[in-house]
Amino acid sequence: MHRSLTATLPLSRYRIDRDDTRRARPSLFDEFAADPAARIIAVWRGEVLLAEGDAATAPRLALLPWDAAPADALRVYLGRTLDAEADAPAGTPVTAVMLDDASGPALEPDVTRWASPRTLGHRLGDRDAGLAIEALGMANWHATHQFSPRTGNPTVSTKAGWVRVDVETGAEIFPRTDAAIIVGVTDADDRLVLGSNALWESNRFSLLAGFVEPGESLEAAVVREVHEEAGLRVIEPVYLGSQPWPFPASLMLGFRARLDPQHANELRPDGSEILDLRWFSRDELAASLGEILLPGRTSIARAIIEDWFGGPLDAP
Protein backbone atom coordinates (compact mmCIF):
# COMPACT_ATOMS: atom_id res chain seq x y z
CA MET A 1 0.00 0.00 0.00
CA HIS A 2 1.62 3.22 -1.16
CA ARG A 3 1.23 6.36 0.93
CA SER A 4 -0.05 9.47 -0.81
CA LEU A 5 2.64 11.82 -2.07
CA THR A 6 0.29 14.77 -2.60
CA ALA A 7 1.00 16.55 0.68
CA THR A 8 4.73 16.54 -0.05
CA LEU A 9 4.58 17.70 -3.68
CA PRO A 10 5.93 21.24 -4.14
CA LEU A 11 3.09 22.58 -6.27
CA SER A 12 0.28 20.86 -4.36
CA ARG A 13 0.86 22.94 -1.23
CA TYR A 14 -1.84 25.48 -0.47
CA ARG A 15 -2.60 27.86 2.39
CA ILE A 16 -5.41 30.04 1.05
CA ASP A 17 -9.20 30.04 1.18
CA ARG A 18 -10.37 30.41 -2.42
CA ASP A 19 -13.45 32.18 -1.08
CA ASP A 20 -15.51 31.20 -4.12
CA THR A 21 -18.81 32.64 -2.86
CA ARG A 22 -17.50 36.19 -3.28
CA ARG A 23 -16.60 35.79 -6.95
CA ALA A 24 -20.16 36.58 -8.07
CA ARG A 25 -20.21 40.01 -6.39
CA PRO A 26 -20.19 42.57 -9.23
CA SER A 27 -18.55 45.20 -7.02
CA LEU A 28 -15.84 42.95 -5.58
CA PHE A 29 -12.91 44.63 -7.31
CA ASP A 30 -14.28 48.07 -6.42
CA GLU A 31 -14.36 46.92 -2.79
CA PHE A 32 -10.74 45.80 -3.00
CA ALA A 33 -9.72 49.09 -4.61
CA ALA A 34 -11.06 50.86 -1.52
CA ASP A 35 -9.53 48.36 0.91
CA PRO A 36 -5.96 49.26 1.98
CA ALA A 37 -5.43 45.65 3.12
CA ALA A 38 -6.14 44.16 -0.34
CA ARG A 39 -3.07 42.85 -2.13
CA ILE A 40 -2.16 41.80 -5.67
CA ILE A 41 0.48 39.51 -7.14
CA ALA A 42 1.85 40.24 -10.60
CA VAL A 43 2.08 37.72 -13.46
CA TRP A 44 4.01 38.48 -16.63
CA ARG A 45 5.10 36.11 -19.41
CA GLY A 46 4.47 33.05 -17.25
CA GLU A 47 6.47 34.41 -14.33
CA VAL A 48 5.57 35.93 -10.97
CA LEU A 49 7.10 38.94 -9.29
CA LEU A 50 9.19 38.20 -6.21
CA ALA A 51 9.70 40.43 -3.20
CA GLU A 52 13.08 42.08 -2.81
CA GLY A 53 15.53 40.02 -0.79
CA ASP A 54 19.04 38.66 -0.72
CA ALA A 55 20.22 35.41 -2.25
CA ALA A 56 20.44 33.71 1.16
CA THR A 57 16.75 34.09 1.99
CA ALA A 58 13.90 31.96 0.69
CA PRO A 59 12.03 33.68 -2.16
CA ARG A 60 8.62 35.20 -1.49
CA LEU A 61 5.96 36.62 -3.76
CA ALA A 62 5.70 40.39 -3.86
CA LEU A 63 2.34 41.28 -2.29
CA LEU A 64 1.60 44.72 -3.71
CA PRO A 65 -1.07 47.36 -3.01
CA TRP A 66 -4.15 47.19 -5.24
CA ASP A 67 -3.21 50.30 -7.24
CA ALA A 68 0.35 49.16 -8.02
CA ALA A 69 -0.81 47.77 -11.40
CA PRO A 70 -2.82 49.44 -14.18
CA ALA A 71 -6.53 49.68 -13.41
CA ASP A 72 -7.46 48.09 -16.75
CA ALA A 73 -5.25 45.01 -16.32
CA LEU A 74 -6.96 41.60 -16.21
CA ARG A 75 -7.47 40.50 -12.60
CA VAL A 76 -8.43 37.20 -10.99
CA TYR A 77 -9.40 36.94 -7.34
CA LEU A 78 -7.39 34.12 -5.79
CA GLY A 79 -8.82 34.12 -2.27
CA ARG A 80 -7.92 35.03 1.32
CA THR A 81 -4.79 34.01 3.18
CA LEU A 82 -5.28 31.50 5.99
CA ASP A 83 -2.21 32.29 8.08
CA ALA A 84 -0.61 35.45 9.39
CA GLU A 85 2.83 36.05 7.84
CA ALA A 86 5.29 38.91 8.01
CA ASP A 87 3.98 40.54 4.84
CA ALA A 88 0.23 39.99 5.34
CA PRO A 89 -2.19 39.13 8.18
CA ALA A 90 -4.56 36.18 7.98
CA GLY A 91 -7.61 36.97 5.89
CA THR A 92 -5.78 39.20 3.40
CA PRO A 93 -7.56 39.16 0.01
CA VAL A 94 -5.13 38.42 -2.82
CA THR A 95 -5.78 39.03 -6.52
CA ALA A 96 -3.60 38.08 -9.47
CA VAL A 97 -2.95 40.78 -12.08
CA MET A 98 -1.97 39.72 -15.61
CA LEU A 99 0.45 42.21 -17.13
CA ASP A 100 1.36 42.75 -20.79
CA ASP A 101 4.71 43.57 -22.35
CA ALA A 102 4.32 47.24 -21.55
CA SER A 103 2.99 47.07 -17.99
CA GLY A 104 5.21 44.19 -16.82
CA PRO A 105 8.58 45.95 -17.22
CA ALA A 106 6.98 49.22 -16.13
CA LEU A 107 6.01 47.66 -12.81
CA GLU A 108 9.42 46.05 -12.27
CA PRO A 109 12.22 46.40 -14.85
CA ASP A 110 14.63 44.19 -12.88
CA VAL A 111 14.26 40.83 -14.64
CA THR A 112 15.90 38.98 -11.74
CA ARG A 113 12.79 39.65 -9.65
CA TRP A 114 10.58 37.78 -12.13
CA ALA A 115 10.68 33.98 -11.77
CA SER A 116 8.87 30.91 -13.08
CA PRO A 117 7.04 28.66 -10.59
CA ARG A 118 8.14 25.76 -12.78
CA THR A 119 11.72 26.10 -11.57
CA LEU A 120 11.19 28.04 -8.34
CA GLY A 121 8.07 26.41 -6.93
CA HIS A 122 9.85 24.04 -4.54
CA ARG A 123 11.60 26.99 -2.86
CA LEU A 124 8.42 29.01 -2.16
CA GLY A 125 6.48 28.70 1.08
CA ASP A 126 3.15 26.88 1.19
CA ARG A 127 1.05 30.02 0.75
CA ASP A 128 3.12 31.45 -2.08
CA ALA A 129 3.42 28.15 -3.95
CA GLY A 130 -0.36 27.80 -3.99
CA LEU A 131 -0.95 31.41 -5.00
CA ALA A 132 1.63 31.31 -7.79
CA ILE A 133 0.26 28.11 -9.33
CA GLU A 134 -3.36 29.26 -9.12
CA ALA A 135 -2.45 32.61 -10.68
CA LEU A 136 -0.41 31.08 -13.50
CA GLY A 137 -3.07 28.51 -14.32
CA MET A 138 -5.71 31.21 -14.58
CA ALA A 139 -3.43 33.47 -16.63
CA ASN A 140 -2.85 30.68 -19.14
CA TRP A 141 -6.58 29.93 -19.35
CA HIS A 142 -7.48 33.57 -20.02
CA ALA A 143 -4.76 33.86 -22.66
CA THR A 144 -6.20 30.94 -24.66
CA HIS A 145 -9.88 31.85 -24.31
CA GLN A 146 -10.05 35.38 -25.69
CA PHE A 147 -12.57 33.99 -28.16
CA SER A 148 -15.38 31.46 -27.73
CA PRO A 149 -14.40 27.97 -28.92
CA ARG A 150 -18.01 27.47 -30.04
CA THR A 151 -18.80 30.69 -31.92
CA GLY A 152 -15.50 32.50 -32.41
CA ASN A 153 -16.98 35.60 -30.75
CA PRO A 154 -14.84 37.67 -28.39
CA THR A 155 -15.19 36.87 -24.69
CA VAL A 156 -14.84 39.08 -21.62
CA SER A 157 -13.82 38.25 -18.07
CA THR A 158 -16.43 38.26 -15.32
CA LYS A 159 -17.12 36.85 -11.83
CA ALA A 160 -13.78 38.02 -10.44
CA GLY A 161 -11.90 36.45 -13.36
CA TRP A 162 -13.34 32.95 -13.00
CA VAL A 163 -15.71 33.03 -16.00
CA ARG A 164 -15.46 34.36 -19.53
CA VAL A 165 -18.65 35.34 -21.34
CA ASP A 166 -19.37 35.31 -25.08
CA VAL A 167 -20.20 38.95 -25.88
CA GLU A 168 -22.78 37.97 -28.51
CA THR A 169 -24.55 34.97 -27.00
CA GLY A 170 -23.90 35.44 -23.28
CA ALA A 171 -22.70 31.83 -23.00
CA GLU A 172 -20.35 31.25 -20.07
CA ILE A 173 -16.94 29.55 -20.42
CA PHE A 174 -15.28 28.06 -17.36
CA PRO A 175 -11.64 27.12 -16.66
CA ARG A 176 -10.60 23.61 -17.57
CA THR A 177 -7.67 21.41 -16.61
CA ASP A 178 -6.16 18.63 -18.72
CA ALA A 179 -5.61 15.36 -16.86
CA ALA A 180 -2.28 13.64 -17.47
CA ILE A 181 -0.86 10.49 -15.93
CA ILE A 182 2.79 9.97 -15.01
CA VAL A 183 4.01 6.56 -13.94
CA GLY A 184 6.99 4.87 -12.34
CA VAL A 185 7.25 1.45 -13.98
CA THR A 186 9.24 -1.28 -12.22
CA ASP A 187 10.24 -4.79 -13.25
CA ALA A 188 10.54 -8.01 -11.25
CA ASP A 189 13.92 -6.84 -9.90
CA ASP A 190 12.41 -3.50 -8.80
CA ARG A 191 14.37 -1.60 -11.43
CA LEU A 192 12.82 1.66 -12.67
CA VAL A 193 12.48 2.57 -16.35
CA LEU A 194 13.33 6.12 -17.40
CA GLY A 195 12.98 7.66 -20.84
CA SER A 196 14.47 10.59 -22.74
CA ASN A 197 11.96 12.80 -24.56
CA ALA A 198 12.68 14.17 -28.02
CA LEU A 199 12.08 17.72 -26.76
CA TRP A 200 14.72 17.53 -24.00
CA GLU A 201 18.49 17.45 -23.83
CA SER A 202 19.68 14.01 -24.92
CA ASN A 203 20.89 13.15 -21.41
CA ARG A 204 17.73 14.13 -19.52
CA PHE A 205 15.62 11.19 -18.33
CA SER A 206 12.24 11.05 -16.63
CA LEU A 207 9.19 8.89 -16.12
CA LEU A 208 6.69 7.96 -18.80
CA ALA A 209 3.66 10.24 -19.00
CA GLY A 210 0.77 11.23 -21.23
CA PHE A 211 -2.66 12.79 -21.41
CA VAL A 212 -5.84 10.93 -20.51
CA GLU A 213 -8.02 10.41 -23.57
CA PRO A 214 -11.83 10.88 -23.70
CA GLY A 215 -13.72 7.88 -22.36
CA GLU A 216 -10.66 6.53 -20.57
CA SER A 217 -10.03 5.82 -16.89
CA LEU A 218 -6.78 6.95 -15.31
CA GLU A 219 -5.64 3.34 -14.96
CA ALA A 220 -6.41 2.60 -18.61
CA ALA A 221 -4.41 5.67 -19.59
CA VAL A 222 -1.42 4.33 -17.62
CA VAL A 223 -1.54 1.00 -19.44
CA ARG A 224 -1.99 2.61 -22.88
CA GLU A 225 0.64 5.33 -22.53
CA VAL A 226 3.33 2.98 -21.24
CA HIS A 227 2.74 0.61 -24.14
CA GLU A 228 2.62 3.40 -26.74
CA GLU A 229 5.80 5.11 -25.55
CA ALA A 230 7.89 2.16 -24.40
CA GLY A 231 6.38 -1.07 -25.77
CA LEU A 232 5.87 -2.37 -22.22
CA ARG A 233 2.78 -4.05 -20.82
CA VAL A 234 2.02 -3.08 -17.20
CA ILE A 235 -0.48 -4.24 -14.63
CA GLU A 236 -1.87 -3.05 -11.30
CA PRO A 237 -1.49 0.74 -11.60
CA VAL A 238 -1.49 2.24 -8.08
CA TYR A 239 -2.34 5.91 -7.55
CA LEU A 240 0.30 7.92 -5.62
CA GLY A 241 -0.90 11.53 -5.64
CA SER A 242 -1.52 14.57 -7.83
CA GLN A 243 0.02 17.94 -8.54
CA PRO A 244 -1.18 20.89 -10.65
CA TRP A 245 1.15 21.63 -13.54
CA PRO A 246 -0.10 24.78 -15.28
CA PHE A 247 2.52 24.72 -18.05
CA PRO A 248 0.14 25.37 -19.63
CA ALA A 249 -2.90 23.61 -18.12
CA SER A 250 -2.35 20.13 -16.70
CA LEU A 251 -3.07 18.16 -13.56
CA MET A 252 -0.43 15.45 -13.15
CA LEU A 253 -1.73 12.22 -11.61
CA GLY A 254 1.09 10.03 -10.33
CA PHE A 255 1.09 6.20 -10.44
CA ARG A 256 3.32 3.20 -9.86
CA ALA A 257 2.86 0.10 -12.02
CA ARG A 258 4.74 -3.15 -12.58
CA LEU A 259 5.53 -5.16 -15.67
CA ASP A 260 3.09 -7.82 -16.73
CA PRO A 261 5.03 -11.09 -16.45
CA GLN A 262 2.88 -12.61 -19.21
CA HIS A 263 4.62 -10.46 -21.87
CA ALA A 264 8.19 -10.26 -23.16
CA ASN A 265 8.38 -6.54 -22.40
CA GLU A 266 11.38 -5.50 -24.44
CA LEU A 267 12.08 -1.76 -24.32
CA ARG A 268 10.86 -0.13 -27.53
CA PRO A 269 11.04 3.70 -27.66
CA ASP A 270 8.30 5.05 -29.89
CA GLY A 271 10.87 7.10 -31.82
CA SER A 272 8.79 10.26 -31.93
CA GLU A 273 8.23 11.28 -28.30
CA ILE A 274 10.65 8.89 -26.57
CA LEU A 275 14.08 8.44 -28.14
CA ASP A 276 15.84 6.41 -25.44
CA LEU A 277 14.78 4.11 -22.61
CA ARG A 278 16.87 2.57 -19.82
CA TRP A 279 16.32 0.39 -16.77
CA PHE A 280 17.97 1.55 -13.56
CA SER A 281 18.57 -0.18 -10.29
CA ARG A 282 19.04 2.14 -7.33
CA ASP A 283 22.80 1.70 -7.45
CA GLU A 284 22.89 2.28 -11.19
CA LEU A 285 20.83 5.46 -10.93
CA ALA A 286 23.02 6.86 -8.16
CA ALA A 287 26.14 6.08 -10.20
CA SER A 288 24.66 7.75 -13.32
CA LEU A 289 23.90 11.16 -11.81
CA GLY A 290 27.02 12.69 -13.32
CA GLU A 291 25.96 11.39 -16.72
CA ILE A 292 22.22 11.98 -16.85
CA LEU A 293 19.89 14.78 -15.78
CA LEU A 294 16.78 14.08 -13.72
CA PRO A 295 13.47 16.00 -13.61
CA GLY A 296 13.58 19.22 -11.58
CA ARG A 297 12.75 19.28 -7.88
CA THR A 298 9.42 21.03 -8.56
CA SER A 299 8.04 18.11 -10.57
CA ILE A 300 5.99 15.12 -9.45
CA ALA A 301 8.31 12.98 -11.58
CA ARG A 302 11.21 13.78 -9.25
CA ALA A 303 9.05 12.96 -6.21
CA ILE A 304 8.04 9.56 -7.61
CA ILE A 305 11.63 8.71 -8.54
CA GLU A 306 12.89 9.63 -5.07
CA ASP A 307 10.01 7.74 -3.45
CA TRP A 308 11.11 4.61 -5.33
CA PHE A 309 14.77 5.33 -4.58
CA GLY A 310 14.06 5.63 -0.86
CA GLY A 311 15.24 9.19 -0.26
CA PRO A 312 16.52 12.41 -1.86
CA LEU A 313 18.93 12.13 -4.79
CA ASP A 314 22.03 14.28 -4.92
CA ALA A 315 21.18 16.02 -8.19
CA PRO A 316 19.91 19.53 -9.09
Which whole number is the average pLDDT over 71-99? 97
Q: Please state, in angstroms and rounded to a whole number, the distance separating the CA atoms of residues 160 and 307.
A: 39
Q: How many residues does the chain have?
A: 316
Q: Which superfamily does 178-309 belong to?
A: Nucleoside Triphosphate Pyrophosphohydrolase (3.90.79.10)
pLDDT at 55: 62
Q: pTM higher than 0.85 for the full model?
A: yes
Taking 80 as the threshold, does the pLDDT of residue 2 lie above it? no
Task: Specify whether the CB–CB gap between 208 and 229 falls below 8 A.
Answer: yes
pLDDT at 219: 98
Give the confidence band of 315 by pLDDT, cuts at 50, 70, 90.
Answer: confident
Residues ≥6 apart with Cβ < 8 Å to 112: none
What 8-state DSSP symbol labels residue 57?
S
For 102-151, write each residue's pLDDT tens digit. 999 999 999 999 999 999 999 999 999 999 999 999 999 999 999 999 99
Angle, CA of 210, 212 and 216, to the nearest 5°: 140
For 208-221, write each residue's pLDDT tens digit. 999 999 999 999 99
For 234-265, write each residue's pLDDT tens digit. 999 999 999 999 999 999 999 999 999 999 88
Cis peptide before 36 (omega within 30 of 0): no
Q: Indicate the domain borders of the chain.
A: 6-144, 151-176, 178-309
Q: Please state, in angstroms and rounded to a whole number, the distance separating the CA atoms of residues 223 and 220.
A: 5
Q: Please state, in angstroms and rounded to a whole number, the distance separating the CA atoms of residues 61 and 81.
A: 13
